[in-house]
Amino acid sequence: MKNISFFAALLALPSIALADDAAKAKLMEIGKANFAVCAACHGPEGKGVVMGAMKMGPTMEASKIVNGDPAVLALVLLNGIQKEGAEYIGPMAAMGATMDDEKLAGVMTYVRNSFGNASSVVTAEDAKKFREQWKSMTGPVSRAKLTELGEKK
Ligand code: HEC
Q: Quick check: is 44 in a domain? A: yes
Q: Is the CB of 108 under 6 A from ligand 1?
A: no
Half-sphere exposure of residue 131: CA atoms within 13 angstroms, side-chain side? 19
Q: Quick check: is 9 in a domain? A: no
Please choose from 60, 61, 63, 81 the residue to mutate so as to test ligand 1's pocket, defined by most ligand atoms within 8 A of CB: 81
Q: Within the chain, which residues score under 50 in pLDDT?
A: none
- Give the range of the structural domain holding residue 122, as residue numbers without chain letter: 27-152
Q: Is the CB of 78 under 6 A from ligand 1?
A: no
Predicted local distance difference test score (pLDDT) of residue 83: 84
| Span between the terminal Cα atoms of the chain, in Å | 46
Predicted local distance difference test score (pLDDT) of residue 2: 60
Name the residue at shortest CA distance from atom 34 of ligand 1.
38
Name the residue at shortest CA distance from atom 43 of ligand 1.
92
Predicted local distance difference test score (pLDDT) of residue 1: 53
Query: In total, how many domains does the chain have?
Result: 1
Contact criterion met (CB below 8 Å) for 119 and 27: no
Predicted local distance difference test score (pLDDT) of residue 150: 87
Q: Quick check: is 108 in a domain? A: yes
